[in-house]
Amino acid sequence: MIMKTHNIFFVFVLTAISFFLFPLSAARPDEHSARAILDHIDRMWRGKSSTGTYEMTIKTAHWQRSLRIRSWTKGLDYTLVRIEYPKKEKGVASLKVKNNLWNYLPKINRVVKVPSSLMMGSWMGSHFTNDDVVKESTLADDYHHTITFSGSRDGQDVYEITLTPKEEAAVVWGKIVILIQQKDLIPLSEEFFDEQEKPVRKIVLSDVKTIGGRMLPTKLNVIPYDKPGEFTRIIYADLTFDIDIADSFFSLRTLKQKGD
Amino acid sequence: MLVYLKLAWRNIWRNKRRTLITQFSMIVTLALMIAYSGLVWGLLNQMERNATLLGPGEIQIHVPGYRDDRSIYKVIDRPDTIISSIEKNGARAASRLQGFGLVSHDENSSGAQILGIDPAREKNVTRFHRHLFRGAFLAGANEVIVGSKIAVTLDVTVGDELVVVTQAADGSIGNDIYTVAGILNRIGEEIDRSAIMMSLADFRDLFSMGDVATEIAIRRVHDRQELGELRDVIAGGIPALEVKTWKELFPAISDMIDIADLSIYILFFIVYLAASLITLNTMLMAVYERIRELGIMMAIGFRPLQVMTLIFVETFYLTLCAVGAGLVCGVGLSAYLTRYGLDLTSFSDGFSFAGILAEPHWFAVTNAQTVLPAAVFLVIISFAAVLYPALKAARLKPLEALNFN
């Protein structure tokens, strides 16, 4: 439950970004179905594969700490993350292959599989859940998406897109509302609601920069509404897309390499 | 008076078979009721014992609000000071820590409650150490005791390695390898399904915690000491903390014990009511078949009250013999169940009530509380049932009775 921080960033940025191009479809509805745009955004955000480094800062009522994390991804099914800093957790790593999640603990040299019963548990002590890490690819499949607002809000032209779960989908959220800047289609925020439509947490994306040759928000802040004062913040340091990486890289063997 | 006794004694044996059948029904119901109340008290005593000796102890100390949100940040500072002052009060106490973690063995993993206990002190407060299915109690570092069901989930046995991963109190990733020293017997759903016990030192190391406890469990040295009084004494010394007896922690069990007498008496009443109808019938028949005889007695000077007395003395003999034999059988049956118990293991694994285990091998208790009320109730209800035939006899008119056929 502690090891999955890395992926989470992707999860959220991905969902956010997957809607990045959505406004295009609104502008040219004849040319793009929402789904096609989502897929396009996925590809654009993620590339075929990627590697990057980010810093995750977690603040809770009792402690605050920062982790530096290296990540590798390929398609939607493979993700590997490894903690580079602090020293106590150096080499701790998470591997996601499809819906499975393993953590590696260098101190005791053991791999632990995260059971499905703990999917709602905290990932790496952050305000992300294990489920956030594993389920990253299913938002587009599991939800209906509609543009619920288009116009000026807080001095910016934005699109508001609301996701509601499909009836048969086994999902965690009752509703997700995403705000996207119209001029460059960069996502600003995502707000998550439970089944009673009560807001649970908000993710704010900011600091748009050119990274890995693309314009992307490089800072992501998770704010849980039920824990005032707490947050998890992720800031990307570097990101490279379309690297040459084999499926076999995402293996328990790689997971156990301590990194250097 | 002697003449009543003699007459009554002879009368009840005039129809031996009827008398014996009546008595037999009384003996059977009395014996069953004695065994029943013995079993009920046995179950309640066992649940009380499990609620205290296999769980919280008799009194618990927490930080206020801990029971609603079992957080590793709601802790009692320097628990040893509190424990030594409790020990000065003549009770026994042990610190505990509770946290959540991911435990794993080979390919299997599960979420678990991690319990940190002080093995030496815990032995004085609870009986976990005597409730092991396999293996031994905590003796050294990096050993764990595992709940019965989670042991199956993880597929571990004594000597196996168990990995525990958790988020420590400082936010870092706590992880270590432990050896399974023992597996607990069934205790209650929560412990069976999710508990992993380790020493306080190992727990503090895993969770990066200092000299704190999430809970202090207390047990009296003498059962005679009043629980509420001891609680008040302890609470007086630590006003900032919450001190509760097990009765406050498990109100469902405590209430059940409080109303146990009443519910047993209600069953006595129902069962004896049925049995007393047989007595009523016997005595009514005895009166009707002797109407002429009773008429003669009244004609030669017996007063209605004396006739009534006679019928009651007959009932007295009838029940006395039955209660005597019933007590022998009932105490015998109850004593057997006290000694050997009722083994329901083939039907059930036991059940949990309010989180407290009722074991499938069920032992009765036999004492004055379980035996005497059963006998007293039978006598009272039998006499009440005979009121009608006795009145009937007392109201006979001598002349009509003589001519009755």
Residue B172 φ/ψ, nearest 5 degrees: -80, 175
Position B71: which residue type? Answer: S
Residues of A with Cβ-Cβ distance to B142 under 8 angstroms: none
State whether B169 and A63 contact (CB < 8 Å): yes
Model pLDDT for residues B51-109, shown as the tens digit of each residue: 888 888 899 999 999 988 888 999 999 999 999 999 988 899 999 999 999 999 988 99
Chain A residues with CB inside 8 Å of B173's CB?
A: 2-3, 88-89, 92, 105, 124-125
Chain A hits for B170, Cβ within 8 Å = 63, 65
Q: Does A119 touch chain B (CB under 8 A)?
A: no
Instruction: Give the global pTM.
Output: 0.76
pLDDT in tens, B331-380: 999 999 999 888 877 777 666 666 666 777 788 989 888 899 999 999 99
Mean pLDDT of B154-162: 94
Q: Which residue from A minimizes the CA distance to B108?
A: A113
Nearest residue, CB atoms, A113 vs list B73, B109, B176: B109
B111 CA: distance to closest CA in chain A (Å): 7
A20 closest CA partner among A39, A7, A3, A2 = A39
Contact B175 A88 (CB under 8 A): no
| Chain B residue with Cα closest to A64 | B171
Chain B CB contacts of A113 under 8 Å are 104, 107, 109
> Which own/partner pairs from B247-251 qualify as long-range (CB within 8 Å, at least 24 positions apart)?
B249/B56, B249/B60, B249/B67, B250/B51, B250/B56, B250/B354, B250/B355, B250/B356
CA distance B209 to chain A (A): 13
Instruction: Supply the pLDDT for residue A136.
Output: 58
Residue B75 to residue B58: CA distance in whole angstroms: 20
CB contact under 8 A, A125 and B173: yes
* Subunit contact B171:A62, Cβ cutoff 8 A: yes
Q: Which of A58, A60, A63 to mutate to test the interface with B (most CBs of B within 10 A)?
A: A63
SS3 B41: helix
Q: What is the mean pLDDT of residues B30-48?
A: 89
Does 1.10.4190.10 match the CATH number of domain A5-255?
Answer: no
**pLDDT digit string (tens) for B159-195?**
999 999 998 998 888 999 999 999 998 887 788 899 9
pLDDT above 60: residue B136: yes
pLDDT over 60 (residue B7) = yes
**Cβ of A88 under 8 Å from any chain B Cβ?**
yes
Q: Is A227 on the interface with B (CB under 8 A)?
A: no
Sequence letter at residue A227: K
> How far is C-alpha A48 from the geometric centre of its chain's CA atoms?
16
Across-strand partners of A55?
A68, A235
Query: Which of A59, A81, A107, A108 best probes binding to B when mutated, by most B CB atoms within 10 angstroms?
Result: A108
Cα separation, B23 vs A29, whole angstroms? 95
DSSP class per residue in B107-132 = TEEEEEEEEEE-HHHHHHH--GGG-E
> Which residues in chain A have Cβ-Cβ distances shorter than 8 Å to B177?
108, 110
pLDDT in the model for residue B405:
65
- For the record, the structure tokens of A2 come out as 């502690």
Interface of B with A in 135-174 (CB under 8 A): 163, 165-167, 169-173
DSSP assignment of A151-207 equals EEETTEEEEEEEEEE-TT---S-SEEEEEEETTT--EEEEEEE-TTS-EEEEEEEEE
Asked whether the CA dihedral B101, B105, B110, B116 is positive or negative, the reply is negative
Say how many CA atoms lie within 13 Å of A248 toward its Cβ.
Answer: 0
Q: Do B175 and A107 touch (CB under 8 A)?
A: yes
DSSP per-residue codes, A96-145: EETTEEEEEETTTTEEEEPPGGGTTSBSTTSSSBHHHHHTTT-HHHHEEE
The closest alpha carbon to B229, from B47, B56, B59, belongs to: B59
Q: With CA atoms as reference, report the closest residue to B96 among B79, B112, B84.
A: B79
**Residue-wise over B226-241: b if at least 16 C-beta within 10 A, else e?**
ebeebbebbeeebeeb
Nearest residue of B to residue A89, measured between CA atoms: B173
Strands B108-117 and B195-199: parallel
Distance from CA of B212 to the nearest CA of A (A): 15
Chain B CB contacts of A115 under 8 Å are 102, 109-111
CB–CB of A74/A247 below 8 Å? Answer: yes
- DSSP assigned state of A248: G
Mean pLDDT of B213-239: 89
DSSP A28: S
Chain A contact probe: residue of B73, B165, B208 with most A CBs at under 10 A: B165
A60 touches chain B (CB under 8 A): yes
Distance separating alpha carbons of residues A166 and B246, to the nearest angstrom: 48
Question: Any CB–CB contact under 8 A between B177 and chain A?
Answer: yes
Confidence (pLDDT) at A225: 93
CA distance A2 to chain B (A): 6
List per-residue pLDDT tens for chain A, 260 residues long: 333 333 444 444 444 433 333 333 334 433 345 565 566 666 666 678 889 999 999 999 999 999 999 999 888 788 899 999 888 889 999 998 888 889 999 999 999 988 877 877 787 778 888 777 766 555 667 788 777 888 888 888 887 888 888 888 777 788 888 887 777 777 788 899 998 989 999 999 889 888 888 888 889 999 999 889 999 999 999 989 889 999 999 999 898 886 65
Chain A CA closest to residue B173: A2
B69 and chain A in contact, CB less than 8 A: no
Report the residue of chain B nearest A114, measured CA to CA: B109
Q: Measured between CA atoms, how close is A171 to chain B, in angstroms?
A: 21
pLDDT (0 to 100) of residue B209: 94
**Amino acid occupying residue B204:** R
Is residue A110 less than 8 Å (CB to CB) from chain B? yes
pLDDT band at B217 (very low <50, low <70, confident <90, very high): very high
Strand segments (E) across B106-262 = 108-117, 132-135, 143-146, 161-167, 173-184, 195-199, 212-213, 215-220, 242-245
Which residue is closest to A120 within chain B, CA to CA? B111
- Residue boundaries of the structural domains of chain A: 5-255
CB A11 within 8 A of CB A138: no
Identify all chain A residues contacting B111, using CB atoms and an 8 Å cutoff.
115, 117-118, 121
Q: Which residues of A touch B102 (CB under 8 A)?
A: 1, 112, 114-115, 118, 121
Mutate to test the interface with A, among B71, B167, B179 (most CBs of A within 10 A): B167
Contact indicator for B151, B143 with CB cutoff of 8 Å = no
Q: Are A127 and A222 in contact (CB under 8 A)?
A: yes
Q: B260-288 and B16-53 are packed helices; what angle lies between their axes, rounded to 10 degrees?
A: 180
List the single residue in A with minimal CA-CA distance to B107: A113
> What is the CB neighbour count within 10 angstroms for residue A41?
23
Backbone angles phi, psi at B133, to 5 degrees: -80, -40
Structure tokens at A260: 């250097």
